[in-house]
Amino acid sequence: MNFNKYNNNYNIIGQKLKEIRTTKNISQEYICNQLSLLGITLYQSDIVRIENNERTVRDFEL
């Protein structure tokens, strides 16, 4: 599957996600666990890739 990029990034929330997560002292694992309760499976490696703009973020994940 081919994804479009915006300003050479796969997502525009990665940097903001990391900023808010670290400011609020929330771990990547905690985010994964909370999403799991909503029926969304994301692994810690997915969060790392999102924060590093290496992975797209689907609308239902957002």
What pLDDT shows up at residue 1? 65
Domain ranges across the chain: 14-51
What pLDDT shows up at residue 7? 79
pTM attached to this predicted model: 0.81
Q: Are 53 and 11 in contact (CB under 8 A)?
A: yes
Q: Are 44 and 31 in contact (CB under 8 A)?
A: no
pLDDT tens track for 3-48: 777 777 778 889 999 999 999 999 999 999 999 999 999 999 999 9
> Interior CA angle at 58 toward 22 and 61, to 5°?
55
